[in-house]
């Protein structure tokens, strides 16, 4: 099945990955033509760690992400 995913955020890319692994022909649409890191960060709650495991993305060291991970020290 051909599937269009709108938005290259965390939910969109996770959905695209899972749909693709399920054998679907996935196209991701986003208003940014070339998504890339822009210096912003995301807060991944503790529930997100097992989800990264499920997606097979927990070991992100080869992408350089884990070197930049730091737990929040206080909440605003």
pTM tops 0.95, yes or no: no
For residue range 29-51, list pLDDT tens digits in order. Answer: 999 887 776 766 666 677 777 77
Task: Name the band, by pLDDT with cuts 50, 70 and 90, for residue 63.
Answer: low
Whether residue 59 has pLDDT greater than 90: no
Contacts of 52 (CB under 8 A, 6+ apart): 44, 58, 60
Rounded to whole angstroms, how far apart are CA atoms 44 and 47?
Answer: 8
All structural domains of the chain with their residue ranges = 1-32, 40-70
Contacts of 48 (CB under 8 A, 6+ apart): none
For residue range 1-39, list pLDDT tens digits in order. Answer: 999 999 988 889 889 999 999 999 999 999 988 777 676
């Amino acid at each position: 099945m051909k599937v269009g995913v709108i938005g290259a955020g965390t939910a969109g890319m996770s959905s695209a990955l899972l749909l693709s692994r399920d054998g679907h022909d996935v196209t991701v649409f986003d208003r940014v033509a070339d998504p890339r890191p822009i210096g912003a960060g995301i807060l991944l709650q503790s529930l997100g760690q097992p989800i990264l495991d499920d997606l097979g993305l927990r070991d992100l060291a080869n992408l350089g992400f884990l070197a930049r991970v730091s737990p929040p020290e206080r909440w605003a």
